[in-house]
Amino acid sequence: MTIAIFIGSLLLAMALGIPIAFSLLASGVALMWHLDLFDSQILAQNLIGGADSFPLLAVPFFMLAGEIMNVGGLSKRIVNLALALVGHVKGGLGYVTIMAGCLLSALSGSAVADAAALTALLLPMMVKAGHDKARAGGLIAAVGVIGPVIPPSIGLVIFGVAANVSIAKLFMAAIVPGLLIGGALWVTWAWLVRREDIVPPPRKSLAEIGKAFREATWALVLPAIILVGLRMGVFTPTEAAVVAAVYALLISTLVYRELKFSQLYAVFVNSAKTSAVVMFLIAAAMVSAWLITVANLPGKVVEMLQPFMGNPILLMAAIMILVMVVGTAMDMTPTILILTPILMPVVNAAGIDPVYFGVMFIINNSIGLVTPPVGTVLNVVAGVGRMKMDDVTRGVMPFMAAEFFVMFLMVVFPWLVTVPARWFSA
């Protein structure tokens, strides 16, 4: 009955068109009434306490860094480097998209920011070259999924805070899985374009490649600073976010000089608006998380999943399928915030590595960004690329299937995540 009241009130509020943050508060109030615990002071305390977290400061700073990178020219130079390296091969612009997406993921950690930048920069080039616009848009949307996986990742930060798992370990464990997803997209694109009759642009000279690399060097240094700093214990993930934002600001204004001081106000306001939405969503979710614990919903979920508890692989598969279904109707951040306090006790009871689970959970939620009908990244690509949503959805299907294949491959073979995680964390 408790589970039904929580889920029912949440879905009803969302069906009425109430924003998800307020829907979470409504479901929390409904649970309070059901448990005879309603107290406005408890509601306010959990709401404020939900956002009062030092690790969560990483979210607005990484968002600011991503905004600065797109306006300040760092994203453009990453794309130019990828063009110089692989733009000349058959279907080269697709490989450029994948390579640039992986590099941008190591800069911003946001699927929406990466998808918007890639769509604006590469979609017109791919269409002009003769590629099917729906397929090109679908590839860009699928590449955007890598953004929340390869560190720094806003999704991993939110999960780490919600699950009380080391964010630094999550960052290190997500590197190889993110690259595996990129590899799957590479193979899928190669299969799809093998019969296309498109003449690629001429190969760049070594001098042109060297110039593109020199121009992108300042952008490429940033992920190295973040990962080495985290690995060596120089700074925390939150401090890494500040470093990323300050570094991007300095490079954009003093080195590339594409970000004018007159533009700074708009950049800060845009990132502040986005951060405010996410932070309020997190704060509202913490009210529900507290009530979920009080109502012992995790214990009830453990009982429901008891038949799978003896087999971690089957349990992970069942959880991944559940998250897949939820991801078709809900955005990434609320899914993380709602399901994490419910699923983590199940994962701990089954003896599954919480870092491994966190990476798999974020991968699944990231792919949910391109699963219709809600797919946020699909909407971004359709909007920026001036495409119909149906066309982007049709184009993303083969790439989405490849990403789900890689995800379930890591469910069957957990060492694909755990072994590289030990290498980077050792």
In tens, the pLDDT along 350-367 reads 889 999 999 999 999 999
Asked if the structure places residue 18 within a domain, the reply is no
Which residue has 């490849």 as its token pair? 402
Q: How far apart are CA 49 and CA 53, in angstroms?
A: 8
Quote the tokens at residue 84.
């110089």
Quote the tokens at residue 111.
């699927």
Asked if residues 320 and 339 have their Cβ atoms less than 8 Å apart, the reply is no
**Mean pLDDT of all residues in 112-123:** 82
Phi-psi region of 130 (alpha: psi -120 to 50; beta: other; left: phi over 0): left
Residue-averaged pLDDT of the chain: 83
Asked if the structure places residue 14 within a domain, the reply is no
Asked if residues 291 and 87 have their Cβ atoms less than 8 Å apart, the reply is no
pLDDT of residue 50: 67
Asked if the structure places residue 413 within a domain, the reply is yes
pLDDT of residue 119: 86
- Please write the tens of the pLDDT for every residue from 182-195: 999 999 999 988 87
Asked if the structure places residue 220 within a domain, the reply is yes
Q: What's the structural domain count of the chain?
A: 1
Q: Pick the closest to residue 114 from 125, 101, 126, 124 (CA basis).
A: 101
Asked if the structure places residue 243 within a domain, the reply is yes
pLDDT: which is higher, 264 or 15: 264
Asked if the structure places residue 34 within a domain, the reply is no
Place 405 in a pLDDT band, splitting at 50, 70 and 90: very high
**Mean pLDDT of all residues in 223-245:** 82
Q: Which domain holds residue 313?
A: 39-425
What share of the chain in percent tops pLDDT 90?
19
**Mean pLDDT of all residues in 127-150:** 89
Asked if the structure places residue 134 within a domain, the reply is yes
Crossing angle (nearest 10°) for helices 264-294 and 297-304 = 70
Place 425 in a pLDDT band, splitting at 50, 70 and 90: low
pLDDT of residue 112: 77
**Mean pLDDT of all residues in 403-411:** 95
- Please write the tens of the pLDDT for every residue from 267-326: 899 888 878 877 887 777 777 777 777 776 666 676 777 777 788 899 999 999 988 888
Is 81's pLDDT higher than 60? yes
Asked if the structure places residue 27 within a domain, the reply is no
